[in-house]
Amino acid sequence: MSALLSEDERALRDAVRSFLDKKVAPLVAAHEKARTFPWELLPRLYDFGYVRGGVPEAKGGDGLPMMMQAILMEEAGRCWGSLRTTVNVQGMVARVLGAAADAGQAERFLRPLLEGRRFGWFGLTEPDAGSDAGALRTTARRTGDGFVVNGSKLYITNALGCDFGILFARVVDSGGTDHGVTGLLVDAAESRFGVHDIPHMPLRSTTSCELTFDDTFVPAANVLGPIGGGLSLGMAAVNAGRLNMAMGAVGLSQACLEESIRFCRQREQFGKVIAGFQLVQQMVVEIATLTETSRLLGYHAARSIDAGEPGRYECSMAKYYCGESAGRAATLALQLHGGAGLMEESPVERYFRDAREATIPEGTSQIQILHLGKALLGHSALR
């Protein structure tokens, strides 16, 4: 689809792909096996626009168009799912800080984040509040010089590898009045809280953590944005995260296509390469079609945002279709590989596991359908 990209966009895609293929791809198998992640590589990726791209230049970022950010996420997804989700979350944290941090917070959190000296988690999901973000139960009670936080967060990506995070909690005053969901910056150096990993199937080089807060103190200076404005801040980041997830899924589908073509041209059965079998060609063509149509939806969502539109409808549709398509593409790729595809030494085994994740974070496929249904029909199936 190079014809749909500008010269600058093609140059960015080619430069990022070359770097990822040469410097990151050779590290993937060892890190997946050890369940580790090369954090030291991230600052080098920021120079391409990862994480910095969603932050305005006036705040120290690159201020990239959404189309360029989409290209970056597709290439990350093509290379490594754990990389894609890591830069996605760091980008969401950076985006929220860029929108709401005051001067002191920017100096303490945003600037070192953009320089790759600090890493942040995004604390929205709870045991009883996943898709229903408005049902958050974690509370932050006012004290004289700050807040005392109680509650828990669940499935928080890479919290073990981060030294601060954005926590979304309900601010409650001494009289018990709820002032709404608010963003709080939680610095591990000044606030004590529990964090442990929950073993999980996909993205083995990431952690998926439970955070527990038991009378955790957070200074008043760490309130991010207005009291009660946390949900709007969080949802704005989640919308961009949906497009990032969609484009990461496009990259994963592309990886499935490339590996399937390579394998089918080499594997021989019944005296000839399996690329010559009709049913094999049918499966490869389906992967290619899913990949191309997914890419078109992702590009359309990115172009819509760059044109000044909210893009919520387009991002939801891309997240839904691209995630589901990646799952189908990975299933077909594994089937084409036969028994070899079930082995951990085959990249399609990882693609299959990672593709299953593409339909869940930043709103499941079913939640995206309900958002789209409301937009089309004018009636909410939720509230």
If asked whether residues 7 and 85 sit together in one domain, one would say yes
If asked whether residues 210 and 299 sit together in one domain, one would say no
DSSP code, position 201: S
Q: Is residue 383 part of a domain?
A: no
Residue where a domain stops, chosen among 58, 81, 114: 114
Q: Cα(133)–Cα(141) distance, rounded to whole angstroms?
A: 19
Mean pLDDT in residue range 27-37: 97
**48-79 pLDDT tens trace:** 999 999 999 999 999 999 999 999 999 999 99
If asked whether residues 125 and 57 sit together in one domain, one would say no
Q: What is the DSSP string of 91-125?
A: HHHHHHHHHH--HHHIIIIIHHHHTTS--EEEE--
Mean pLDDT in residue range 16-45: 97
Domain CATH for 270: 1.20.140.10
Q: Is residue 382 part of a domain?
A: no
**Which active-site residues does the annotation give?**
362
For 359, the domain range is: 232-377
If asked whether residues 110 and 125 sit together in one domain, one would say no
Residue where a domain stops, chosen among 157, 192, 226: 226
If asked whether residues 69 and 88 sit together in one domain, one would say yes
Q: Cα(192)–Cα(216) distance, rounded to whole angstroms?
A: 6
If asked whether residues 243 and 355 sit together in one domain, one would say yes
**318-332 pLDDT tens trace:** 999 999 999 999 999
If asked whether residues 345 and 210 sit together in one domain, one would say no
Domain count along the chain: 3
Residue where a domain stops, chosen among 191, 226, 261: 226
Confidence of residue 223 (pLDDT cuts 50, 70, 90): very high
If asked whether residues 355 and 266 sit together in one domain, one would say yes
If asked whether residues 57 and 82 sit together in one domain, one would say yes
pTM: 0.95
If asked whether residues 129 and 188 sit together in one domain, one would say yes
Contact 324, 368 (CB under 8 A): no
Distances (CA, A) of 334 to 100, 255, 338, 351: 44, 12, 6, 9
If asked whether residues 95 and 179 sit together in one domain, one would say no
The one-letter amino acid code at 308 reads: G
Predicted confidence at residue 144, as pLDDT, reads 86
